[in-house]
Structure 1
Amino acid sequence: MSRLIRTFAVLSVFGLAVGCSSGADVDEAAVAGARSKDPAHSTSFWVDPASPAAEQIQMWEREGRTQDAALLKRIAEEPAALWPAGELDPGPVIKAATAAARQEGRTAVFVAYDIPHRDCGQHSAGGAADADAYRAWIGKFAEALGNSKALVVLEPDAVAHMVDGCTPGEYQGEREQLLSEAVVRLKQQSGTKVYLDAGNPAWIQDPWKLVEPLKRAGVEEADGFSLNVSNFQTDAVTKKYGVRLSRDLGGKHFVVDTSRNGNGPLPGAWCNPPGRGLGTRPTTDTGEASLDAYLWIKRPGASDGTCEGGPDAGQWWPEYALELARNSKA
Structure 2
Amino acid sequence: MKYLLGLAGLAALASAAPAETPTRIIEEQMLERNPAAAASAAAVTIAPGSNPFATRTLHANSVYASEIAAAMANVTDATIKTQASAVAEVGSFLWLDTIARVPLATTLLAETPSTEILGLVIYDLPGRDCFAKASNGELATGQLATYQSDYIDPIAAAIKAAPQTAVALIIEPDSLPNLVTNINATACAAAASDYKAGVAYALKTLNLPNVAMYIDAGHGGWLGWDANLQPGADMITSVYKTAGSPSQVFGISTNVAGWNAWSELPGEFSTTSDAQYNKCQDEQRYIDAILPLILADGMPAHAIIDTGRNAVQGLRLAWGDWCNVNGAGFGVHPTSSTGNDLADAFVWVKPGGESDGTSDSTATRYDSFCGLADAYKPSPQAGTWNEPYFEMLLKNANPAF
TM-score by length of 2: 0.72
CA-to-aligned-CA distance 1:283-318 (integer Å, 9 cap, x gap): 111111111110100001110111221110011112
1:156 aligns with 2:173: yes
Give the alignment partner of residue 138 of structure 1, picking from 142, 146, 152. 152
Match of 2:91 among 44, 60, 79: 79
Q: Aligned partners of 2:26 and 2:256: how far apart in 1?
A: 32
Matches within 5 A, 1:1-330: 3-9=1-7, 12=10, 18-19=22-23, 31-35=30-34, 44-49=57-62, 50-57=65-72, 59-60=73-74, 64-88=76-100, 90=102, 92-102=103-113, 105-120=115-130, 122-129=133-140, 130-136=143-149, 137-146=151-160, 147=163, 148-165=165-182, 166=185, 167-187=187-207, 189-206=208-225, 207-218=229-240, 220-221=245-246, 222-236=249-263, 237-250=282-295, 252-264=301-313, 265-268=315-318, 269-307=321-359, 308-330=377-399
Answer yes or no: is the 8 Å Cα contact 2:353–2:389 preserved in 1: yes
Q: CA deviation at 1:227?
A: 0.3
Per the normalisation by structure 1, the TM-score is 0.86
Contact 2:333 2:347 (8 Å CA) reproduced: yes
In 1, distance between residues paired with 2:27 and 2:355? 30
5+ residue gaps, structure 1: 21-25
Equivalent residue of 1:235, what SS? coil
- CA displacement at 1:10 relative to structure 2: 6.5
C-alpha contact 2:291 2:302 (8 A) present in aligned 1: yes
Q: Whole-Å Cα distance in 2 between the matches of residues 321 and 9 of structure 1?
A: 16
Residue 168 of structure 1 aligns to a residue whose secondary structure is helix
Which 5+ residue runs of structure 2 have no aligned equivalent?
15-19, 36-53, 264-281, 360-376
Q: Which moved more, 1:7-16 or 1:233-242?
A: 7-16
Deviation for aligned residue 1:273: 1.5
> What is the deviation of 1:84?
2.3
How far is 1:169 from its partner? 2.6
The question of whether the paired residues in 2 share the 8 Å contact of 1:8 and 1:83 is answered with no
Q: CA deviation digits over 1:17-66, x for unaligned, max 9?
A: 7447xxxxx99786332249xxxx99611112433223333x15xx5310
Task: Report how many residues are paired.
Answer: 313
Deviation of 1:107 (Å)? 0.9
Task: Classify the secondary structure of the residue corresponding to 1:172.
Answer: helix
CA distance in 1, matches of 2:29, 2:255: 34
Greater CA drift, 200-209 or 246-255: 200-209
Q: Report if the CA contact (8 A) 2:128-2:137 is conserved.
A: yes
When residues 125 and 69 of structure 1 are mapped into structure 2, their CA distance, relative to the original with a 3 A threshold, is same
Residue deviations 1:147-180 (CA, integer Å, cap 9, x gap):
2211111100001111112453343233212111
| 1:47-95: CA deviation from partner (whole Å, max 9, x where unpaired) | 12433223333x15xx5310221232342221111112414150x2001
**Contact in 2 for aligned 1:9/1:87 (Cα 8 Å):** no
The alpha-carbon distance between structure 1 residues 127 and 210, as it changes in their structure 2 partners (threshold 3 A), is farther
Inter-partner Cα distance in structure 2 for 1:11 and 1:65: 19
Q: What is the distance in 1 between the residues matched to 2:198 and 2:326? A: 36
**CA distance in structure 2 between the partners assigned to 1:9 and 1:55 by the alignment:** 11
Task: Kindly indicate whether the alpha-carbon contact (under 8 Å) linking 1:42 and 1:78 is maintained by their aligned counterparts in 2.
Answer: no
**Cα distance, 1:326 vs structure 2:** 0.8
Structure 1 distance, partners of 2:251, 2:138, is: 23
Deviation at 1:324, TM superposition (A): 0.5
Deviations 1:209-244 (A, max 9, x none): 201110122275321110001110001110210122
Q: Is the 8 A contact 2:308 2:348 kept in 1?
A: yes
Name the amino acid aligned to 1:145.
I
| Higher mean C-alpha displacement, 110-119 vs 27-36 | 27-36
In structure 1, what is the Cα distance between the partners aligned to 2:117 and 2:237? 26
Q: Which moved more, 1:111-120 or 1:64-73?
A: 64-73
- Structure 1 residue 252, shift from structure 2 partner: 0.6
Distance 1:184 1:84, change over 3 A: same
Partner SS, residue 272 of structure 1: coil
Following superposition, the deviation at residue 246 of structure 1 comes to 1.0
Name the CA distance, whole Å, in 1 between partners of 2:26 and 2:83. Answer: 32
Which is higher, the Rg of structure 1 or of structure 2?
Answer: 2
1:208 Cα offset (Å): 1.9
Distance across 2 between alignment mates of 1:46 and 1:245 = 28
SS in 2 for 1:98: helix
Q: Which amino acid aligns with 2:316?
A: L
8 Å CA contact 1:71, 1:326 repeated in 2: no
- For the residue of structure 2 that corresponds to 1:176, the secondary structure is helix
